[in-house]
Amino acid sequence: MVPGTNGDKHLPYDKRTGNESTVFFTRDLSAEGLEKIYKRVNQDITGKVAIKLHTGEPHGPNIIPRPWVKNLIDNELPGAHIVETNAYYEGDRYTTAQHRNTLKINGWTFAPVDILDEFGTAMLPVKNGNWFKEMSVGKNLLNYDSLLVLTHFKGHVQGGFGGSNKNIGIGCADGRIGKAMIHTTPGQPDQWDIAKEEFMERISESSKATVDHFGKHIAFINVLRNMSVSCDCEGVAAAPVVTPNIGILASLDIVAIDNASVDLVFALPEKDHADLVERMTSRHGFRQLTYMKELGMGNDKYNLIDIDNGDKKISLAEAVKDVKPFKA
């Protein structure tokens, strides 16, 4: 199998083709802002609801604030479960017992947390995949009717960036089988030997398995706040944040929301986005975006709707024009 190319090239918006999806935007980085934007994409979040988010390593400084999530569950999603899977690397989330201790340390105690691979795995089909025909996920994922993908958008040491695609592509794959399928060539001594375009394509095929499984009963929210070049899996060792906070995005289209998140970072002045852009580029992370589109997962063109100002369609430049330099 030969991976694609040009994962180190950000495709400008005016070079994209095809249909447009809707991406909602608010600058209101608060519990109220999160609740407000969720209401724009909640029409098919029904039945038993799972909320997939990155709950972080112990004392991780950049994860989505717990009070925001508590407010959302209390007001809009009573009975919803936060869902996670165990980590592929040894550490504080490697076993279920370690993971539950970390959840307690980080304050994820206000709602049920389902570690999806605690009691085993299940295989979901990957339709039209080049790398996989099926993906191993935590079997408890199959217990839910709807999935809200609530993502802290940030950099990632291997993926370049972590958006909705990474949140479910890596985050729903179970800790031993699924994550190994994505990260490691069988028989290789290096646990992390798969990188660049091939890695992005494997993440996206894994993500597609989950997206297809839930059908219309899935929605995506990306929180563009505390965007270190490091993933939340690096915890207190994460690189300092230098990229300004931007806002919150929501969409029913995973391709559109991750493209819009990347595009908003690029719309910042060069001095404000240099570190994060370098991380995305050097890891060939943009292949996540182009490959998701090739897999038919959504559109890379979108209308950006400003819910702070009467649902006006705005440009990327308008969305970031009042962004302030980051202050810890």
Cα 176–177–178 angle (5° rounding)? 110
Average pLDDT value for residue range 171-183: 98
Confidence of residue 230 (pLDDT cuts 50, 70, 90): confident
Average predicted confidence (pLDDT) for the chain = 96
Phi and psi at 88, nearest 5°, equal -85, -25
Confidence of residue 238 (pLDDT cuts 50, 70, 90): confident
Confidence of residue 231 (pLDDT cuts 50, 70, 90): confident
Please name the residue that has the structure tokens 């994820």: 108
Confidence of residue 112 (pLDDT cuts 50, 70, 90): very high
Sorted by sequence, the CB contacts under 8 Å of residue 108 that are 6+ apart come out as: 55, 66, 82
pLDDT at 232 over 90: no
Average pLDDT value for residue range 85-99: 97
pLDDT at 115 over 80: yes
Give the integer Cα–Cα distance in Å for 228 and 117.
28
pLDDT at 94 over 90: yes
Sorted by sequence, the CB contacts under 8 Å of residue 270 that are 6+ apart come out as: none
Which domains, and CATH codes, for the chain?
A: 13-320 (3.40.50)
Confidence of residue 234 (pLDDT cuts 50, 70, 90): confident
Confidence of residue 193 (pLDDT cuts 50, 70, 90): very high
pLDDT at 328 over 80: no
Sorted by sequence, the CB contacts under 8 Å of residue 64 that are 6+ apart come out as: 53, 54, 150, 152, 223, 225
pLDDT at position 243: 95
What pTM did the predictor assign? 0.97
Average pLDDT value for residue range 162-188: 97
Lowest mean pLDDT among 115-124, 167-176, 227-236, 246-255: 227-236
Q: What percent of the chain has pLDDT over 90?
A: 94
pLDDT at 275 over 90: yes
pLDDT at 52 over 90: yes
Average pLDDT value for residue range 117-127: 98
pLDDT at position 289: 98
pLDDT at 199 over 90: yes
* Six-digit token string for 300: 């890379």
pLDDT at position 236: 76
Phi and psi at 306, nearest 5°, equal -85, 100
Give the integer Cα–Cα distance in Å for 3 and 195.
10
pLDDT at 237 over 80: no
